Structure 1
Amino acid sequence: MPYSLFTIIYSVVFVLGLIENVLALYLLSCRVTHTSHSYVYMINLALVDTLFVCVLPFKIHYHLNWNNWIFGDMACRVTGTLYYINIYLSIAFFTCICVDRYIAVLHPFTYIQIKVLHYVVVVAVLWVVALSVMVPLILGGPLHNSGPRNTTLCFENFTTSSWTSRMAPYNILALVFGFVIPFSIILISYPLVAKRVSQIKHSIRKRKALTTISIILLICTLCFLPYHLTHLLHFLMRMRRVTLALVSVNCCLNPLLYYFSSSSKRWRCNFKLRFRSKIVYTICDRKQSDFVQGSFGL
């Protein structure tokens, strides 16, 4: 097992992910004028990724020491649970952004009636669901067990009885509601959004909108799909470790989403960043395509 490979991957993800997401949190919350309420989803996505990279040093030490966990059972529960919470909250926020863009483009008159409070409520519900899943795992039985060469494994290589009695319900629910349904929504909605956006003429931001769509599809396909395919087919734990490493790469790719969907200008190092002022339009004397450009930030 190439333990050094996982150590290198998680180390790179930790450095890049921490820098990128802390910077993204700062820019999204303090320095940027937002043209869409969906920035609420992006801030929370960056927050989830930041929490995730903060526990990666434990994962790095774990693989550096040949998969031997030395930090105790409670630390294993917390870090392991946060690892999987990052996966499904990230997918959930991607889906929320997808639905937001879908409504903005295909139902613009409904979109202008949605307030920022609605976004806050959705985010609160997602966090409550995530915490409700975390608490039983953290307060439950041990999530570490004995491995080869007198090592202690953390959050992996469960026995059949453990899988059946405890982990099976979590894995089935996570697979269906955490990935299959959200990913299906993304696959169905984004082509419709891309088709509608591509029909808009003379839009200087059409390329940015289509790039945003492509990035989200790329992240979901590259980072999340391989893990869930191996999870669905019950591959060996070694294969799941490889796909879990791919999952962590999403923390470095997510800031690309913030860049392409949040600003029409390059993010500069002097932090003097501002969004281009939002297009002003009226409903009564413009065509619907112009209105869609305004609501989508085109």
Structure 2
Amino acid sequence: MADNSWAEGVSNGTVANASSELALEANFQYSLFTVIYSIVFVLGLIENVLALYFLCCRVKHVSHSCVYMINLALADTLFVCVLPFKIHYHLNRNNWIFGDMACRITGTLYYINIYLSIAFFTCICIDRYVAVLHPFTYIQIKLLHYLMVVAVLWVVALSIMVPLILGGPLHNRGMRNTTACFENFGTHSWTYRMAPYNILALVLGFVIPFSVILIFYPLIAKRISQIKHSVRKRKALSTIYIILVICTLCFLPYNLTHLLHFLMRIQVIQNEAFTNLIYKMRRVTLALVSLNCCLNPLLYYFTSSSKRWHLNFKLKFRSKLVYTICDQKLGESSCGYKLQQRQGNRKHRAGIN
């Protein structure tokens, strides 16, 4: 699931490579990344911390499938925690000042989150498919099975992070005497060092997950449409629509552009105008993919009972009604009394006694 596709630019060892990097310059990226990442950091941090609080502390009797959403929120929280470093980096025109180890950790966490999010979306899709089309099998699935799936995904992610963090340096001298982080790798690195990671990312992070989503969700929607109107039906359809919107807006453009970007870096695509367009498109999709951290909490809200997400501050001020059956001879079939008033009458009578 890992991806070394973050390596932008080419090696600056020769004049030809330097001129090629100049051709791939996109000046709009500095303000674009700074603004988008700042918004995502503020909103994403607040939303995902609240989501973890509600999912883990306030929501009772949650379904086992909420394990996926809790881990998705945890991955998003880790993602937004590295954004201040990225904001500083792009605000200073792609100049990294935090050292090589910080570059490895923040860059790896940034891209691991993208593919962990896609993986958890795929797990939610499969879970909904089994629940809707195979309900008798679904009730036999235990919490342990969900925990095992989540553990495998995190182990795979960590096993990919370790060699990247402990490997060779991932920051180097860029253009304008700046220090680039995860950038300026040459064609040789793209062809040999990064090719396995990129191929793995494209297959496990794009082809398989999106194939599952595109095949399973229409089947789920068709089955749900046959169910009579109900709250569960609306909630299930909302889940499908939200995931499809997030995938279409954030993940699909990123992965399609990454495929073109990889082909460009290994020189399969050599047209100068097209390569410049691909580079600029990739900068835009890198910003768009980070928006999933702000959109994912919508999924948590609509897949849980909405009443559980409200802080019940107003309940303290509501007057509760108690209904009793009265003798019809008194001219009333039922009488409603406010609980607070009844308690006040009791205290009054007690004072008289």
**How high is the TM-score relative to the length of structure 2?**
0.75
**Could you tell me which of 179, 183, 188 is aligned with 2:210?**
183
Alignment of 1:204-223 (within 5 A): 204-223=231-250
> 1:205 Cα shift?
2.7
Counterpart residue number, 1:239: 281
Q: Secondary structure at the match of 2:231?
A: coil
> 1:153 Cα shift?
1.2
1:255 aligns with 2:297: yes
**Could you tell me which of 143, 165, 174 is aligned with 1:147?**
174
Q: Which has the higher contact order (CA 8 A, sep 6+)?
A: 1
Counterpart residue number, 1:100: 127
Counterpart residue number, 1:228: 255
**Could you tell me which of 167, 172, 177 is aligned with 2:199?**
172
Counterpart residue number, 1:85: 112
Alignment of 1:1-298 (within 5 A): 1-2=27-28, 3-234=30-261, 236-265=278-307, 267-270=309-312
CA distance in 2, matches of 1:248, 1:271: 33
Counterpart residue number, 2:342: none
Q: Secondary structure at the match of 2:94?
A: coil
Asked whether the equivalents of residues 11 and 60 of structure 1 are also in contact (C-alpha less than 8 Å), the reply is: yes
Q: Deviations over 1:26-49 (max 9, x none)?
A: 000010024421100000000000
CA distance in 2, matches of 1:146, 1:112: 56
Q: Deviations over 1:247-283 (max 9, x none)?
A: 100000000000001124373245899xxxxxxxxxx
* Structure 1: runs of 5+ lacking an equivalent: 274-298
Asked whether the equivalents of residues 101 and 165 of structure 2 are also in contact (C-alpha less than 8 Å), the reply is: yes
Q: Secondary structure at the match of 1:153?
A: strand
156-165 vs 117-126, which moves further? 156-165
CA distance in 1, matches of 2:207, 2:251: 11
Aligned residues: 273
* Structure 2: runs of 5+ lacking an equivalent: 1-26, 262-274, 316-353
CA distance in 2, matches of 1:205, 1:129: 34
Asked whether the equivalents of residues 157 and 237 of structure 1 are also in contact (C-alpha less than 8 Å), the reply is: no
Asked whether the equivalents of residues 222 and 246 of structure 1 are also in contact (C-alpha less than 8 Å), the reply is: yes
CA distance in 1, matches of 2:258, 2:45: 27
> 1:204 Cα shift?
2.5
CA distance in 2, matches of 1:205, 1:112: 17
- Alpha-carbon spacing, 1:251–1:13, altered in 2? closer, same or farther (3 Å): same
CA distance in 2, matches of 1:69, 1:237: 20
User: What percentage of residue pairs aligned between the two structures are identical?
Assistant: 85
**How high is the TM-score relative to the length of structure 1?**
0.88
- Alpha-carbon spacing, 1:256–1:49, altered in 2? closer, same or farther (3 Å): same
CA distance in 2, matches of 1:266, 1:131: 34
Asked whether the equivalents of residues 48 and 74 of structure 2 are also in contact (C-alpha less than 8 Å), the reply is: yes
CA distance in 2, matches of 1:33, 1:194: 28
CA distance in 2, matches of 1:138, 1:198: 48
Letter in 1 for 2:101: M
CA distance in 1, matches of 2:48, 2:61: 18
CA distance in 2, matches of 1:272, 1:113: 40
Asked whether the equivalents of residues 40 and 290 of structure 2 are also in contact (C-alpha less than 8 Å), the reply is: yes
Q: Secondary structure at the match of 1:233?
A: helix
